[in-house]
Amino acid sequence: MDGDFKPQPFPTEIPFLQDLGVEFLGMGNGEAQVALNLEHRHLNSWMVTHGGVVMTLLDVVMSMAGRSLDPTARGGVTIEMKTSFLQPGGHAGGRIVAKGKALHRSTSMCFCEGELWNGDKLVAKATGTFKFLKRLDVAHKMEHD
């Protein structure tokens, strides 16, 4: 998955990602990619990409990679996530790309890995475990919470 996707709308409306300006590049066969054109609002006090932005992109791209293996799975919940930050994520005016891959999928769980890139520089790596729910399961759970 190296740039063979064309930008398209997110398969599910996620207001937080829309507000951040995250761009959906594609997903399929256990892989996914998203990108973000960095603006001043995405930076921390050192004027580099905020760690929360990095983790958000890694979280969503790993979940999408897992979800791509089951088109009926519409709701996903992050069970655990570990992120290692290797270097600063970039400055305003730059572009970062997150790449996710599903490593193992069971009936409702998926183990994934993700990488965040600033050009040819690896910024962060992550692993995550995700639980996927069917759309009716999500609606039912929300009614009872």
Mean pLDDT, residues 103-110 taken together: 92
Helices (H), the chain: 15-20, 51-67, 135-144
pLDDT tens digit sequence for 60-88: 999 999 989 987 777 789 999 999 999 99
Q: Is 129 left (phi over 0), alpha (psi -120 to 50) or beta?
A: beta
Separation of alpha carbons 48 and 88, rounded Å: 6
DSSP states of 94-112: -EEEEEEEEEEE-SSEEEE
Q: Closest Cα partner for 9 from 34, 46, 28, 29?
A: 34
Q: Which residue has the higher pLDDT, 45 or 4?
A: 45
Domain boundaries, the chain: 15-144
Q: Which residue has the higher pLDDT, 13 or 80?
A: 80
Q: Closest Cα partner for 125 from 96, 82, 92?
A: 82
pTM confidence score? 0.86
Mean pLDDT, residues 110-128 taken together: 98
- Using the predicted structure, report yes or no on whether residue 145 has a pLDDT greater than 90: no
pLDDT, position 30? 94
Look at the block and give the residue holding tokens 């990602």: 17
Look at the block and give the residue holding tokens 């088109």: 71
Write the CATH number of the domain with boundaries 15-144.
3.10.129.10
- Using the predicted structure, report yes or no on whether residue 54 has a pLDDT greater than 60: yes
